[in-house]
Structures are given as structure tokens and as C-alpha cells.
Chain A
């Protein structure tokens, strides 16, 4: 039976056709720039300096705080710079530049052996040491997700293979080509949390992936494949839980509070490597598509610069208007192609000038399409009215803080109003307000 969540939007996935049948291709550039805040939480602190020789997988930055994870060298070679670069967010970020010597000499690794026999207590520390964070986009440190408080009981591990975003096919290819790693990773997570049931969730527009994963799951205990209806944002954590378990994550709570843990397929594959081979997270599959000559699914080292990857795909096929990291709905534009990819960069999409042009905002016509689309069940048109008038308290009353910024409302709006963009700002302002209040108290 196919399951899904309430509301949401139906997107056109024709743009996946360019890359969905292309095998993953390896690409290694001669320089990587590894940024220090690839995960949510305090940025890691570099522990190498200019001129140092680093080995593949060597720790180059130490974790800071509860949410911290270490960062590893994704190539072997010489550190040519430790500095700051502008990145996708507001403030510049620290970055370690390494010149690749193409020798790929591994730093000493400590494999833990087969996921079915390893001591479960060793799994979570190994995940932390491997620098693994959510590879679906939110980049939440995985070891934190897998360390529930004693009162929180996990019953189900969900592996997110929905890939509901447009353009992207990296998870699809991973499920087809390296499904075993995903199942291994899932088993490791299940054993770490001592959970009996694991579900790999795949949308029904990927029948080949469903078939492959079903075949691999048949021989393993407790794991199964759940087919989902194709709908956006099916791969959203809360939507996925709603679809699979029928439970909704309450306001301000985490998935673990309804007994579920959600991991991306890429994260599971990385966990498998961390346990079986002792390898840290140093590479990932990234889809490069849109207006490039040869769209591809590239396996790149973390920190590969966008320019090199676009070059590896033959360069722009026409004048580029925008280049974005991520899919069509939640992707973030990059200021120039000199920006390196991170652990959560699942795609680079190049838009031509026509597609990149934004449309001027019109007035709200009260059609209610945004309400019908919102997967959370908010009233986007009312929140937007409050946001435009800068009435933060009213926006908060309308639960703007529960908005997952999926972009469904903006997508459906016939007046092309900037709904999601303004909610993001309102959320930021409310967070700043709460912080200021907390500071005073």
C-alpha cells in the first residue's frame, strides 16, 4: 500500500530524467575547500595550519559543543590556506584549503567489522568520529539524533529515500548502485538504538530503486521497503513520519518523541562505511544538472568547488542565470561558482536566465491555494499579511514557527507572492527576539 501525508503539492519531475539513468561518476579535483560549519551547531575549529601535510581522512578540525562533529581531510595533500570565505549564509565561514597530491593515502583507520556483530555501544561514537551529519539537506549531526534521552523510546527507524525534490537523482542512484551500504547503515542504526523495525521509504516514481531495495531487504532481519505516493514534501522529516506511522510530531517536539528516527539514505551509506571500513565521511554523490552540457551524478570529495564540478560536466550549455545548491524547491542560490560543496550538498542546479528571472509579487486574491498546499496546515496568506505589517506577535500566534519552509505555498500562489521568503525572515526575527528576552531574564 502506498502511503502519504495530508496536503502538499504535485511537482513536475521531468527534470530528473536528465540524470536518473546515468551511473555515478567519480570526480576528484586538484583542490578542495572544506568549510567548518557543514553541520548545524557551533563550527568546528581547524587543528591544521598552512603548510601541513594531511592524509586522506585525517581530522583537520575538532568538534565544539554538544552538536559538534569533527571535519576530515577529503583528499591527501598539503594545506595551502586556513582562512575565511563567503558562503551561503550571512556571515563568512572558516575554510581549510587542501591541494590534492592524488596519492589518496589513508590515515590509519579502525574498522569495527560487520554491522551485525559489532558492539552496539560502539556505533554512535564511531558515527560521531566519522563526522557524519544528515546528508539530505538539514545537516543535523547524526550522533545526536541517535542518542535519545532515557525517557524517549525509539520504535522505528525510517530511512528517507523519498527524494521529493525536483532535479535531484543522487539518492535514487545510490539506492540503485549501492543499496547494500544503505541497508548496512540502517541495521547499524537499528542496533545502536535496539530497535526491531526499520523502513526504507521510497516514492513510487522510482520503481527500479524500490525493486532493488526490496531485493536487498529480503535477506536481512527487520528491514522492509515502504512505497510512498509521489508528492512534495514527502521527504520532509515530519511528513515522512506522518505518512509511515500516521503520527504527527507535536509542535516543538522531535521525531524521537513519537518514537521515530529518520535518516537519509546517504547518511545510512556513510554510517555503513564508518562501521565496516572505519572511514570518515569524505565524499558524497551530488547531482549536477540544469543548463550544463553533460548533466551527471558525480561522486565528489567534500569541499569540491562548484566551478570544478560544472567543468567536469562540460560547463554551461547556455548563459547561466542562477546556480543553486539543492533542488528546485529548497535550493539556495550561490553568489558565484567559487563556492565549495558541503556534506549536505545534494545537487547543483544551473538555471538559464529565463528560468532564473523572478516575477513581481502581486496582491493576495484570497484564493486559499496556499492553505490547501501547506503540509503543516498553516494559513500562509494570513501569516504573510502579518509579516508585511511587521506584526511578529500575530505571526507567532499563527504558528509561523512551525513552518518548515518547504515552499509549497509560494509554488501554488497564483499571485506569485513571496510567502516562504518572508516567513523565513519572520522566523529569524522571532528567534532573535526570543534570544534577546532569554538574555535579559
Chain B
């Protein structure tokens, strides 16, 4: 009999609380925009923070509120931006896909070594010790700060140089922010020709420390048919807006400092 009473009392209590909670749940329900969760599904989902918000949820809310741009999520890419634009019922301008590119070719053996670094495996630490393990103070240090910060596993280290897999890279820019040397830049994926050196020292010094250093000779500028190249601070720069990817500069560069990705694709 005691068992019966206990069950009856607990059951009744359960029923009362259940009904009360159900009523409270309906009465005090917080109105949420269902668009937030739909936008959230379209995002990269890495919480990389490249959009400037504290993670994907915060960005989705900002989009629905109209504070953030629909194409603000770099990892989501063009497809994601379109999907979000559809949810929000707005038009989005087709934005160019950006990928991170390493503007240095100073791999082990190419760039001269200053000392053997055997300390804490962090580029930021090594950069602070006597100008870094490589003679060139603009070179990729190759200890993988970018790799450690990449949420997508797009970066690997090879011969003391970071290599970015462009198919995996979502262009969030976390590596760019974490490189103490600033050798990684976000460039349009369609840009196939680039100067892979940022050494602003005088030509003699640049050439001494690396076989593939840009010496600022200006041969590329003279040969560029679309006037896209400027030589400033001792190294050449290509304006992606003007460049027509003809690859002429890469073929005339005496130091092989300019790389033409479409040419190397063809080789493959």
C-alpha cells in the first residue's frame, strides 16, 4: 500500500509541475528569428573569428539584425553568401574568392640560414631572437604559427616554408594575422601570378641572403603589357586589378622571384 501512495503522490506532483512548466514555456517563450539558425547553417562553422564577431552564432545574429554583410563569412565562400542572401531576401554582389598565399620562397637551402634554432617551436619566439633563424629578415620562419592557427587544416610545413592548400583554404585570414613576418597575404583565387618576395633591403643584400629574392630590378615592370607592376621599397608588387595573368613577368624575372601558378599547373 505504501508503494501505491508514494507513486500516486510523485505522479501527481509530476503532472502538476509538468503542466505548470508547459504553461510557462508557452507564456514566456522568447521570440527567436528562425532565420538566425538557417543563416547559422550556411556558415563555415569554424568559429575562426575572421568576420570580426565572436564566433559563428554571433555573426548569424548580426546578419539577421542587418549589422553584418551577407558575404561577411569568408569560409562560407560565395555559395554560402548566396544562400544567406536568399534567406535574407537581398541581393549580393558576387565577391571574388580570396585565398591565403605565401609570399616567400625561402625554403631551407634557398634562403641562407643564420643559426640553428632549437627552442620553443613558435615563429613569434624565433623572430625575436637575433632577427630569426634565416638570414633574410622578411622570410617565412617555418615553425608553423600559421599552421597551428588554421581552423581548416589547409597549411602544412615543408622544407622550412609553409605551404597552403588553396582548395582547402577558406580565406578567413587567421594565418595572416598570426604570421610575425607578414609573409602571408589574402589574394583573389583567380590571381595566378605573384611576386613571392617582400625583401625591401638593397639588391646586393637581398641577393646575398636568398637565391629567389626580388632585387627590385624592374624588368617585370618594363615587360608588363598591362602596367600592373610597381617597384617600391626594393621589391615588385602586382596589382591584381590590372594584372591579366599573362605570366610575362614570371618568365623574365632573373631571380625566379615571380611565380606563375597557371604555368606550374600546366607542368603538373
Contacts and interface: CB of A to CB of B under 8 A. Distances in A.
Interface of A: 86-92, 332-336, 339, 356-358, 361, 390, 418, 421-422, 424-425, 428-429
Given A90-B128, A92-B137, A390-B149, A358 B118 contact: yes
Contact of B130 (A88, A418, A422, A429): A88
A336 to B, nearest CB: 7
Contacts, number: 60
B130 A86 contact: yes
A358 B129 CA distance: 16
Interface in B77-120: 114-115, 118-120
Contacts of B128: 89-90, 424-425, 428
B122 interface: yes
Contact of A333 (B127, B130, B132): B130
Q: Please report whether the interface of chain A is mostly helix, strand, loop or mixed according to DSSP.
A: loop
B125 interface: yes
Interface residues of B, number: 17
Contacts of B124: 425, 428-429
Contact of B125 (A339, A390, A425): A425
Contacts of A418: 119-120, 122, 125
Contacts of B115: 333, 335-336
Nearest to B174: A390
Q: Which 4 residue pairs of A and B lie closest in terms of their CB atoms, listed nearest first?
A: A335-B130, A418-B120, A421-B120, A335-B115
A339 B114 CA distance: 13
Instruction: Name the residue among B115, B118, B120, B178 with the largest chain A CB count within 10 angstroms.
Output: B120
Given A357-B118, A358-B118, 5 more contacts: A90-B128, A92-B131, A333-B129, A335-B131, A421-B120
A74 to B, nearest CB: 22
A336 B114 contact: yes
Interface in B221-268: none
Contacts of A86: 114, 130-131, 137
Contacts of A361: 120
Interface in B121-157: 122, 124-125, 127-132, 137, 149
A390 B119 CA distance: 19
Contacts of B122: 418, 421-422, 425
Nearest to B123: A425
A422 B120 CA distance: 8
Contacts of A90: 127-128, 131-132, 137
Nearest to A86: B131
Given A91-B137, A425-B125, A428-B124, A334 B118 contact: no
A91 B119 contact: no
A261 to B, nearest CB: 30
A395 to B, nearest CB: 14
A422 B125 CA distance: 8
